[in-house]
Amino acid sequence: MNFIVETSARHVHLSQEHLEILFGKGYELTKKKYLSQPGQYACEERVTVVGSKSEFKGISILGPVRKATQVELSMTDARSIGIAAPLRESGDVAGSGACKIIGPAGEIEITEGVIIAKRHIHATPAEAETLGVTDGETVSVKVGTAGRSLIFGDVVVRVNKNYALAMHIDTDESNAAGCGREQYGEIIK
């Protein structure tokens, strides 16, 4: 069974508290476009992420707001701006990288929250059953691009009734495999 492989570029998830510091009291995110995962969307708003060596301006914010602020970068991104970011699953931010985030109304310093997201597959329970995988399992996925076919190991399966079937990789991984806009993968055992 093939599934879409999507490239997840650098982005920020904000808590309501941090959103209001960066954009103003009572501020609400503006939906730009819905993403493949139900209820998730890219926002019109952008921020600057600052490391010890450099910064990235115009970083996308993904909504809705979360309990904790999280910045997701590729390994190349993190190194280039001077952030020591560990490879983690989304939400696992304890002891992770630090940075400054600047918005139009203010700025914040986070002491943890910057990660390099582990490549993963989102699936509903029915899709996971069809794929023959379980929540938390680690699998390998073949991406058959022309001239740069690649097998990604250490892909974490995440199962939830609210997910839609898709694999997420970062820009470093996407470039290594020469992925295009509509790329598909398959689990190999």
DSSP state at residue 141: E
Other Cβ atoms closer than 10 A to 127:
19
**12, 77, 73, 15: which is closest to 45 by C-alpha?**
12
pLDDT over 90 (residue 177): yes
Residue keyed to tokens 């995962």: 37
Whether residue 49 contacts residue 103, with contact meaning beta carbons closer than 8 Å, is answered with: no
pLDDT at 78: 98
Q: Please name the residues in contact with 17: beta carbons below 8 A apart, sequence gap of 6 or more.
A: none
pLDDT at 117: 97
Whether residue 60 contacts residue 11, with contact meaning beta carbons closer than 8 Å, is answered with: yes
When pLDDT is cut at 50, 70 and 90, the band that residue 15 belongs to is very high
Average pLDDT over residues 87-106: 97
pLDDT at 115: 98
pLDDT at 63: 98
When pLDDT is cut at 50, 70 and 90, the band that residue 114 belongs to is very high
CA–CA dist 188, 153 (Å, integer): 10
pLDDT at 6: 97
Average pLDDT over residues 82-103: 97
pTM of the model: 0.95
Q: What is the DSSP string of 50-91?
A: E-SS-EEEEEEEEES-BSS-EEE--HHHHHHHT----EE-TT
pLDDT over 90 (residue 189): no
pLDDT digits (tens, 9 = 90+) for 141-163: 999 988 999 999 999 999 999 99
CA–CA dist 189, 184 (Å, integer): 17
pLDDT at 146: 87
pLDDT at 181: 85
User: C-alpha distances in angstroms, 170 versus 68, 109, 111, 116, 125?
Assistant: 21, 24, 23, 8, 24
Average pLDDT over residues 35-64: 98
- Cα 64 vs. chain centroid, distance in angstroms? 14
What are the residues facing 139 on neighbouring strands? 155
pLDDT over 90 (residue 71): yes
pLDDT digits (tens, 9 = 90+) for 123-138: 999 999 999 999 999 9
pLDDT at 83: 98
What are the residues facing 115 on neighbouring strands? 72
